[in-house]
Amino acid sequence: MKHELTLEGMSCGHCVMAVREALESRNDLSVESVEIGKAIIQTPNFAGIEAGLRALLAEEGYPIIAVKAA
């Protein structure tokens, strides 16, 4: 299932690259796209990885502020 993550703190290409690299470091999801302010991922079990994903992106400086099915 696809999910759109709305992210805070992204303002440039470096931010996009940092978020993409952080997401791609996980083997339990695939990254469809990343742009300033959002990322679209695909994973079969979002509920099971949500807490870890939130922690990972917050640690990078781009906290998730909203999630919706994409």
pLDDT, position 70: 87
pLDDT, position 46: 94
**Helix (H/G/I), strand (E/B), else coil: 59:** helix
User: Under CATH, what is the fold of the domain 2-69?
Assistant: Alpha-Beta Plaits (3.30.70)
- Name the residue ranges covered by the structural domains of the chain: 2-69
pLDDT, position 4: 98
**For residue 21, how far is the Cα from the chain centroid?**
10
How far apart, in whole angstroms, are the C-alpha atoms of residue 61 and residue 69? Answer: 23
pTM for the whole structure:
0.94
Contact 63, 9 (CB under 8 A): yes
Return per-residue pLDDT of the chain as tens, 70 residues.
Answer: 999 999 999 999 999 999 999 999 999 999 999 999 999 999 999 999 999 999 999 999 999 999 999 8
| Eight-state DSSP code of residue 27 | S
